[in-house]
Amino acid sequence: MRFYHNPRCSKSRKALALLEERGCEVHVVRYLETGVKEEDLPLLAGLDGIVRKKDAGAAVMASLQNEEDIVALLRTNPRVLERPILIAGQRAVIGRPPEDILSLLDEA
């Protein structure tokens, strides 16, 4: 499992703590430092609410017409990625609230 994490975000820290409490082994991706993994972009682009509206701005949000536009945006500007995100196989969930990530564990 991969966990997209921003250590400055309280929701992201809480979600990571929930995973650690359950003994889950996750590969932590500090996407602000490394960017979004290319292989994850199509999956992430399909998630509702994947782009942080307040960080992207109204003009950028209005320009997003399809998943390809979202992929291009996340590739060039990972700062707008909503977090935290847990990916397991071909499934992903945004941890807003952090407890939502546990739904992926329940399905596994």
DSSP state of 18: H
**Would you place residue 74 in the very low, low, confident or very high pLDDT band (cuts 50, 70, 90)?**
very high
What are the residue ranges spanned by the domains of the chain?
2-107
Contact 12, 5 (CB under 8 A): yes
Q: How many CB atoms lie within 10 A of CB 83?
A: 22
Please identify which of the residues 9, 32, 60, 64 carries the catalytic annotation. Answer: 9
Judge whether 9 counts as a catalytic residue. Answer: yes
Contact 41, 74 (CB under 8 A): yes
| pLDDT attached to residue 16 | 98
pLDDT (mean) for 16-23 = 96
| 107: pLDDT strictly greater than 80 | no
Entry pTM: 0.94
Model confidence over 90-105: pLDDT tens digits?
999 999 999 999 999 8
Measure the CA angle with vertex 57, ends 53 and 61; round to 5°.
65
Which CATH number, 3.40.30.10, 2.60.40.10, 2.130.10.30, 3.40.50.300, labels domain 2-107?
3.40.30.10
